[in-house]
Amino acid sequence: MPTSPDGGFVATTQIKGGSSKTSIAATLVSWLKRQGQQVVALDLDPQRSLTRWLASAEPDIPLVLPDEDNHDERGAALDACEKALEVAPWVIADPPPSSSTMVRVLVAAADTVVIPSSANIEELYLADRVSKMAIQEGRHRSSPARRILVFVRIDPRTTLAQGAATYARDELDAEVAETVLRHRIAWPESMSDGRSIFDMPASKAAEAQREAEALCREILGVG
């Protein structure tokens, strides 16, 4: 079930770490704020990268964290998700890079699961597993979460990228975003500088900003 212009629960999910899921979550949060939407960030990844970035880049956006003293992972995830939904109609969740209980709870109930992948075959394989997990965990719903694969850190001119894109469109049980996020230095720079990609100087990040905007429109349907 996709998001609506009024809100939605979006989870950026990958089993592999370092897949740009936090960068995409940060971009979605920033974009929604710029569109005048009420949004809350839900940082379930124990690395807390989104939390640190948010404190510097978007300090006025509310943040929800799971209760670290609650050792019932499923209960902690449900508590945090329900709390976030009380705060704002848009929830952007950044779960840990795994197929843990916490991630399974998220994909079971999210409206949209955004799955980043490079053209690397292992990463694409894990992206496929995320999509299958969302279908499996959402089997009791009227329809599973919308699953959208986003190619990141790629050079679309390469044979590897073209092969991966064709494979994904033909074989994976997920939408493939038309927008790709090319390998650009502006992405890691915005995360390490603690700045939104939209606040980076255009001289450095104009192309990345154009891609970010197109991707947000494609995923969220607003703007």
Partner 1 sequence: MAAKKKAPADTAKERFARLREQSAPAERPERPAEVDQAPAEKKGRPKSTTEKLSTLSVPASLLTRLQMEAVRRRAKTGSSIPMWEIVAEALDALGVDT
Contact residues for partner 1 (CB under 8 A)? 1, 8-9, 74, 78, 81-82, 85, 91, 105, 108-111, 121-122, 124-126, 128, 140-143, 159-160, 162-164, 166-167, 170-171
Residue number with CB closer to partner 1 (162 or 179):
162
d(CA 96, CA 15): 8
- Helix, strand, or coil (residue 215): helix
Q: Least distance from C-beta 67 to partner 1, angstroms?
A: 15
d(CA 154, CA 82): 35
C-alpha Rg value of the chain to the nearest Å? 16
Residue number with CB closer to partner 1 (167 or 182):
167
Q: Least distance from C-beta 205 to partner 1, angstroms?
A: 29
Residue number with CB closer to partner 1 (51 or 100):
100
Residue number with CB closer to partner 1 (79 or 189):
79
Q: Least distance from C-beta 102 to partner 1, angstroms?
A: 12
Helices (H) and strands (E) in the chain, counts: 8, 8
d(CA 20, CA 173): 21
- CB–CB of 182/207 below 8 Å? yes
CB atoms within 10 A of CB 7: 19
Residue number with CB closer to partner 1 (81 or 220):
81
Residue number with CB closer to partner 1 (171 or 178):
171
- CB–CB of 62/40 below 8 Å? yes
Residue number with CB closer to partner 1 (46 or 163):
163
CB atoms within 10 A of CB 207: 12
Q: Least distance from C-beta 59 to partner 1, angstroms?
A: 26
Q: Which residues contact 85 (CB under 8 A, 6 or more apart)?
A: 9, 91
Element (DSSP H or E) covering residue 135: helix 121-137
Q: Least distance from C-beta 106 to partner 1, angstroms?
A: 9
Residue 85 to residues 89, 157, 159, 193, Cα–Cα distance (Å): 6, 41, 42, 29
Q: Least distance from C-beta 68 to partner 1, angstroms?
A: 19
